Amino acid sequence: MSAAARDPNQGYSMLSDDAELDHDELSWKGPGARDDVEGESFLRPDPARVYHCLSGGRWDFRIDEAFARRLTDIDETVRTAAVINRLHGTLIAHFLAERGFAQILDLGCGYAHDWSRALGRHETPLLGDVLPRATIVHVDIDGIAAGRAQSTMAGLYGNPSVLQADIRLMPEVLAHPQIAERFDTSRPIAALLHDVLPWIGDDQETAAAVAALREWLPPGSALSLTHATSDLSPTPHTQAQLTSLWDEEAATSFRPRTRNAINALFGDWDLVDPGLVPTARWHPGHPHARDPDTYSAAFAGLALKPQARTSDVEEHRCT
Question: Where is mean pLDDT largest: 93-102, 127-136, 248-257?
Answer: 93-102
- Whether residue 315 is predicted with pLDDT greater than 90 in this model: the reply is no
Above 90 in pLDDT, residue 171? yes
Spell out the CATH class of 6-17+27-318. Answer: alpha beta
Using the predicted structure, report yes or no on whether residue 59 has a pLDDT greater than 60. Answer: yes
The most confident of 69-83, 126-140, 303-317, by mean pLDDT: 69-83
What is the residue-averaged pLDDT of the chain? 83
| pLDDT, average across residues 107-111 | 89
Q: What mean pLDDT comes out for the span 147-172? A: 81
pLDDT band at 311 (very low <50, low <70, confident <90, very high): very low
Q: Which residues pair with 104 in a beta bridge?
A: 136, 190
More confident site: 258 or 1: 258
pLDDT at 122: 56
